[in-house]
Chain A
Amino acid sequence: KNEVEQSPQNLTAQEGEFITINCSYSVGISALHWLQQHPGGGIVSLFMLSSGKKKHGRLIATINIQEKHSSLHITASHPRDSAVYICAVSLDYNTDKLIFGTGTRLQVFP
């Protein structure tokens, strides 16, 4: 069993739809990261959070430490949101080391 699991693996949506990507982890963490990987491979850090909720534009990330679960929401999705979204956790005993989920491939159609 992977230490960080994401669901779904693949997701397609129509433009404008509300999207949720889930991440569960089984290790002790100091923080959880949501990353966006574009088709060319480049990675952008979207959020780093250790509790509660963060919002940036149409993106919202939440984390429940007790349940070891995080969600990434995209409101009013757009084709330019199409990318792979990766959940990663910083370990509590080695905060530099990131453990990555396998990613969720999102395609938003116009």
Chain B
Amino acid sequence: GAVVSQHPSWVICKSGTSVKIECRSLDFQATTMFWYRQFPKQSLMLMATSNEGSKATYEQGVEKDKFLINHASLTLSTLTVTSAHPEDSSFYICSARGPGPSNQPQHFGDGTRLSIL
């Protein structure tokens, strides 16, 4: 089945640093990738949708200058949390879908647990 690899799986860093999270589709072309954030005991919240070669579409309330998304190839999207602060600590998870109709399953990565000290 379709595999999405997310790296790193967890990261701890100091306040003020920038953190990059990678999301790769290993065996299919991910024309669209999605970035979600999940706080403890809460449901996933979509942050942004990115199409390969285009600017990401951010959900209301998500700062695009804070959460930089790049989807430069059909197999890789990155999320960079710039100048991270403790309130950015969360579980970030990506998903991807292949070409064709948009109404098809999304394939999820294993997530990245981010802790900002």
A contact set with B: CB distance below 8 Å: 30-31, 33, 35, 40-45, 48, 86, 88, 90, 95-98, 100-103
Q: Smallest Cβ distance from A109 to chain B, in angstroms? A: 21
Chain A residues whose C-beta falls within 8 Å of the C-beta of B32 in the assembled complex: 96
* Pick from B44, B49, B111: contact of A100, CB under 8 Å: B44
Number of interface residues of B (CB under 8 A): 25
B54 interfacial by beta-carbon distance below 8 Å: no
Interface residues in B50-76 (C-beta closer than 8 Å to A): none
* Pick from B46, B103, B108: contact of A43, CB under 8 Å: B108
Give the secondary structure class of A's interface. Answer: strand
Q: Smallest Cβ distance from A21 to chain B, in angstroms? A: 14
Distance of A30 Cα from B103 Cα, bound (Å): 7
Considering the complex of A and B, which 10 residue pairs feature the smallest CB-CB distances, nearest first?
A: A42-B110, A43-B108, A41-B111, A100-B43, A95-B103, A95-B102, A45-B105, A102-B43, A96-B102, A100-B44
Which of A41, A86, A97 has most B Cβ within 10 Å?
A: A41
